[in-house]
Amino acid sequence: MVAFIRRALPHAPILHLVRDSMDTCFSNYKARFDNLSAYS
């Protein structure tokens, strides 16, 4: 999709963000485990 975005918006910055896997696990762990979020 990056090629399409570059063609449609040539001056738009493309950011590639990577999150550490331990941060993802911790954020899932500390999330409230009730019916507020479908994934938990």
pLDDT digits (tens, 9 = 90+) for 1-38: 889 989 999 999 999 889 899 988 888 777 666 666 66
CA 34 to chain centre: 22
Indicate the SS3 state at residue 12.
Answer: coil
Angle made by CA atoms 30, 33, 36, in degrees to the nearest 5 = 110
- Full-model pTM: 0.39
